[in-house]
């Protein structure tokens, strides 16, 4: 029995659904999230702390060992090159991609290996 979809068609469908799911994210310049921009502000401060003496007076980088540090490590260098609003959108796309493709990959692996 032949599969109804080729791997390329399946990949295009998955990517298309992801892009359609991102459409509301780009419909507004400000992402409607309660504390998202406080995190963006923290990333911005960490990205610019070495160039601004005023920031150096009030802030210092103190990165404890935690799982949340991954977004700090990715987002801080990003906000050194792009504006906070664009950076916020790119970070949100990254977060959605991790969630979307993480669920997709775990579903594929669990279907291939059977239930636990």
Domain that holds residue 71: 32-113
pLDDT < 50 stretches in the chain: none
Question: Is 1 inside any structural domain?
Answer: no
Give the DSSP H/E element, type plus range, for residue 41: helix 36-48
Write down the pLDDT at residue 1. 55
Write down the pLDDT at residue 90. 93
Question: Is 90 inside any structural domain?
Answer: yes
Question: Is 82 inside any structural domain?
Answer: yes
Write down the pLDDT at residue 108. 80
How many structural domains compose the chain?
1
Question: Is 15 inside any structural domain?
Answer: no
Write down the pLDDT at residue 86. 92
Write down the pLDDT at residue 116. 57
Per the document, the length of the chain is 116
Question: Is 14 inside any structural domain?
Answer: no
| Residue partners of 93: CB distance under 8 A and separation at least 6 | 22, 25
Question: Is 22 inside any structural domain?
Answer: no
Distance CA 99, CA 94 (A): 9
Question: Is 63 inside any structural domain?
Answer: yes
Half-sphere exposure of 24 (CA within 13 A, CB side): 6
Question: Is 39 inside any structural domain?
Answer: yes
């Amino acid at each position: 029995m032949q599969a109804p979809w080729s791997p390329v068609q399946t990949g295009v469908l998955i990517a298309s659904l992801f892009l359609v799911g991102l459409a509301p994210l780009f419909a507004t310049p400000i992402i409607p999230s309660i504390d998202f921009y406080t995190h963006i502000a923290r990333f911005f401060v960490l990205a610019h702390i070495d160039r601004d003496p005023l920031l150096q007076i009030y802030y210092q980088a103190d990165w404890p060992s935690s799982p949340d540090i991954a977004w700090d490590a990715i987002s801080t260098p990003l906000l050194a090159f792009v504006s906070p609003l664009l950076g916020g959108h790119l970070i949100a796309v990254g977060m959605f991609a991790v969630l979307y493709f993480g669920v997709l990959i775990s579903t594929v692996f669990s279907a291939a290996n059977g239930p636990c």
